[in-house]
Amino acid sequence: MSVLDPRDDVSTAQIQAVEEVFAASESTPKKNVMETKNLSVWFGTRKILEDVNIEFPERSSTALIGPSGCGKSTYIRTLNRLHELIPRAALAGEVLYNDEDIYAPEVDPVRIRLKIGMVFQKPNPFPSMTIRGNVLSGLKLSGMKKPDHDAIVEKTLTAAGLWKEVKDRLNHAAGELSGGQQQRLVIARALAVDPHVLLMDEPCSALDPASTLKIEETIRELAQEMTIIIVTHNMQQALRVSDHTAFFLAAENEPGIVVEQGETGTIFSNPKDERTLDYVNGRFG
């Protein structure tokens, strides 16, 4: 007898209760893992970004789109305090991670970067290390002690969609891998330290469609468990992998602003702003 059988009145009541809980959980907004409030960014006196307000809910993926030079990469680098490594960099406003301002003076940037991982545009595996060594390098570099390295290597490489291709040559040099494989390797490397947030700065821009597809699958799976923030120039990619989208735009000689943001479906099918409509339809940028 099925649980859904209406003849069983006890179970009907239970089902109703469960459905109510589900409905409630659907409508409760997810907690924000990261958020920027009135964030403006400068290099020297040149303003790159102005008044960026974006919220990044937990277990979701957000795409940052916009033409080149509008400050997307700069923005993503402020989220894990890599921005400050550039001389003359400056900013104003707040970047919140779990409601804590990551730029507060008592915050250790090392701790922030450990929790907010990053994958860069060009794959950057450490050339002197093996594939296995690269995956575990984050543990070593951050002094993190975790048992069972083999399990971590298998788990993260599987999550990054690379395990099947490299499981027989884990002790080979990372440089032997192709570009797409290297990029998946650095994703696995970023996952091995168990970050809460993963920033991706155009992770597929130098890759072929097959590798791109694999990485996109990986991103969608990861977004079930963590927060993904991805910069992309590829509109289809944003549509495929993200729940939310923010559209950045900079007028000539002016700082970049977020023109429109919202659910990815809305942004692409029914944007409110004409510029967004033009951009997502490939009319400029």
Partner 1 sequence: MTVTSSGTGSGTVTYARNESLDQKPQQPWARRTPEFRLINLVAVVVPIAIVGLLFWYTPIPAPILVTIIYFPLQLLAALWAAWHLRGRKSTPDAVVMVLAIGFSIMTFVILGSILFSIAIRGFQALSVGFIFQNSLYISPSTPLGWGGIGHAILGTFYIVLIATLIAVPLGIGTAVYITEVKGRFSAYVRFFVQAMSGVPSVVAGLFILTILIYNGLFSQSVITGALAYTILMLPTVARTTEEVLKLIPEDLRTGALALGSTRARVVLQVVLPAARTGLVTATILGIGRVVGETAPLLLTALSNDQTVLNPFNSTTASLPVYIFEKVALPFPDAVARAWGAALTLLIIVGLLFALARVLSVRRFAKK
Which residue ranges make up the site for partner 1 (CB under 8 A)? 38, 40, 42, 45, 47, 50-51, 81, 84, 89-93, 103-106, 108-110, 142-143, 254-255, 257-263, 266-267, 270-273, 276
| CB 263 to partner 1: min, Å | 5
- Between 117 and 271, whose beta carbon lies closer to partner 1? 271
Say how far apart CA 69 and CA 10 lie, in whole Å.
Answer: 61
State how far the alpha carbon of 60 is from the alpha carbons of 47, 228, 273, 279, in Å.
30, 6, 24, 23
- Between 12 and 53, whose beta carbon lies closer to partner 1? 53
Say how far apart CA 56 and CA 34 lie, in whole Å.
Answer: 5
- Between 150 and 175, whose beta carbon lies closer to partner 1? 175
- Between 161 and 268, whose beta carbon lies closer to partner 1? 268
Say how far apart CA 214 and CA 50 lie, in whole Å.
Answer: 35
* Residue 110: half-sphere exposure toward Cβ, Cα within 13 Å: 5
The per-residue DSSP string of 74-116 comes to HHHHHTTT-GGGSTTEEEEEEEEETTEETTSTT--HHHHHHHE
- Between 4 and 251, whose beta carbon lies closer to partner 1? 251
- Between 138 and 255, whose beta carbon lies closer to partner 1? 255
Angle at 35 between CA 49 and CA 28, to 5 degrees: 140
Collapsed DSSP state (helix, strand, coil) of residue 28: coil
| CB 272 to partner 1: min, Å | 5
| CB 84 to partner 1: min, Å | 4
| Residue 197 identity | V
| CB 89 to partner 1: min, Å | 7
| CB 41 to partner 1: min, Å | 8
- Between 20 and 44, whose beta carbon lies closer to partner 1? 44
Give yes or no for a contact between 247 and 261, defined as CB atoms under 8 angstroms apart. yes
**Distance of alpha carbon 25 from the chain centroid:** 24
| CB 268 to partner 1: min, Å | 11
| CB 104 to partner 1: min, Å | 8
Nearest to 165, CA basis, from 108, 109, 214: 214
- Between 108 and 221, whose beta carbon lies closer to partner 1? 108
Cβ neighbours for 233, distance < 8 A, ≥ 6 positions apart? 65, 68, 202, 205
Say how far apart CA 82 and CA 71 lie, in whole Å.
Answer: 14
| CB 53 to partner 1: min, Å | 8
